[in-house]
């Protein structure tokens, strides 16, 4: 078993291919399986360590889709990739994760941190897959309605610590798990930036941290549009570099080449050539 830290050295880029009609920044772009598979291959050529293939949008207000619909969206993409491209399956139900592992997926990204599907942990444990546990306050349908915390960094870390212990108790080795504060999932703009500023609170749990700030609306708001629904590439890159400098390991991004280049420079500064 290769520990997460070796499989994903700091910084590693995770490309995002949403096979959905309604994702907040690339909805509809990759609905065709050939287009989605080509995008995934291109992302790996551009330097992504893994590609996140998602069949369900988690944007604020979204309702969720059935396992059948999720399978209908992601299986043709995984079949076209033929296990040749490292893939992570996003927002998986156990049934979808099982099929994805059969088709060569390496990792599951669960935005509910194993709270939604009681069988998912067993599927990941049995397949020997990697797992990302993410913090979300509430659920996508309602999560952006007045989220409140006394201490956002401490509360997110306490939640992830508990979910990490649960995952390990379910048979998934700690070495295979990374943690994600869930930027934009039940958080205000200020919460999102505080979580990055205080990433050390999360790092203290001893697991690699994944950050997904790419194109999120908080970035658009900070650069001057109070009604922004997405954020620009320049701001996404700045957030990824800031996250890396504060200790993040995996950066989940939509624009792979630009992030790989920026992070290569940031890494040269931090760690030398
Ligand atoms: N963000 C999104 C979806 N999944 N998973 C993790 N671990 N971390 C994140 O920050 C994260 C995530 C939202 O982005 P996107 O996939 O582009 O949009 P949508 O959920 O609308 O498909």
216: left (phi over 0), alpha (psi -120 to 50) or beta: beta
CA-to-CA distance for 201 and 143, rounded, in angstroms? 23
Residue range 177-194: average pLDDT?
97
R_g of the chain computed on alpha carbons: 17
Is the per-residue pLDDT at 191 higher than 90? Answer: yes
Residue 217 near ligand 1, beta carbon < 6 Å: no
How far is ligand 1, taken at its centre, from the CA of residue 272, in Å? 31
Supply the pLDDT for residue 166: 98
pTM here is 0.96
Query: What confidence score (pLDDT) does residue 31 get?
Result: 83
Peptide bond preceding 11: is omega within 30 degrees of 0, i.e. cis?
yes
| Residue in 252, 254, 255, 259 to alter for ligand 1 test, most ligand atoms within 8 A of Cβ | 252
Is residue 140 helix, strand or coil?
A: coil
pLDDT digits (tens, 9 = 90+) for 115-162: 999 899 999 999 999 999 999 998 877 878 889 999 999 999 999 999
Q: Specify the pLDDT at position 24.
A: 81
Cβ atoms within 10 Å of 118's Cβ, excluding its own: 10
Give the pLDDT band of residue 214 (cuts 50, 70, 90): very high
Which of 54, 65, 116, 135 best tests ligand 1's pocket when mutated (most atoms within 8 Å of CB)? 54
Give which of 271, 117, 132, 140 is closest to 212, Cα–Cα: 132
Is the pLDDT assigned to residue 1 strictly greater than 90?
A: no
Q: Which of 250, 264, 256, 272 is nearest to 106 (CA)?
A: 250
Cβ–ligand 1 distance for 51 under 6 Å, the answer: no
pLDDT value at position 91? 73
Please give the pLDDT value at position 39.
97
Mean pLDDT over 202-217 rounds to 98
Calculated CA dihedral for residues 130, 135, 140, 144, nearest 10 degrees: -150
Nearest to 143 by CA among 106, 188, 175: 188
| Rounded distance between C-alpha atoms, residue 163 and residue 46, angstroms | 33
Averaged over 230-240, what is the pLDDT? 98
What is the spatial distance between Cα 18 and Cα 20, in angstroms, rounded to a whole number? 5
């Amino acid at each position: 078993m290769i520990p997460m830290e070796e499989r994903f050295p700091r910084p590693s880029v995770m490309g995002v291919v949403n096979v959905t009609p309604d994702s907040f920044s690339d909805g509809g772009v990759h609905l065709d399986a050939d287009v989605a598979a080509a995008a995934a291959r291109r992302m790996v050529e551009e330097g992504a360590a893994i590609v996140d293939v998602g069949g369900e949008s988690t944007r604020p207000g979204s309702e969720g889709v059935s396992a059948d619909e999720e399978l209908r969206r992601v299986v043709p993409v995984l079949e076209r990739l033929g296990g040749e491209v490292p893939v992570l399956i996003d927002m998986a139900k156990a049934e979808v994760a099982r099929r994805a592992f059969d088709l060569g997926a390496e990792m599951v990204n669960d935005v509910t941190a194993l709270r939604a599907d009681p069988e998912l942990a067993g599927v990941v444990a049995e397949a020997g897959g990697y797992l990302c546990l993410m913090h979300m306050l509430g659920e996508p349908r309602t999560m952006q309605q007045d989220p409140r915390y006394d201490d956002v960094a401490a509360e997110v870390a306490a939640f992830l610590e508990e979910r990490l212990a649960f995952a390990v108790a379910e048979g998934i080795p700690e070495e295979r798990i990374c943690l994600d504060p869930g930027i934009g999932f039940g958080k205000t703009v200020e919460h999102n930036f505080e979580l990055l500023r205080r990433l050390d609170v999360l790092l203290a749990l001893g697991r690699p941290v994944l950050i997904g700030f790419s194109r999120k609306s908080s970035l658009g708001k900070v650069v001057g549009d109070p009604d922004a629904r997405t954020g620009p590439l320049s701001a996404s890159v700045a957030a990824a570099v800031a996250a890396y400098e504060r200790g993040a390991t995996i950066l989940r991004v939509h624009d792979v080449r630009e992030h790989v280049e920026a992070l290569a420079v940031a890494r040269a500064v931090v760690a030398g050539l």
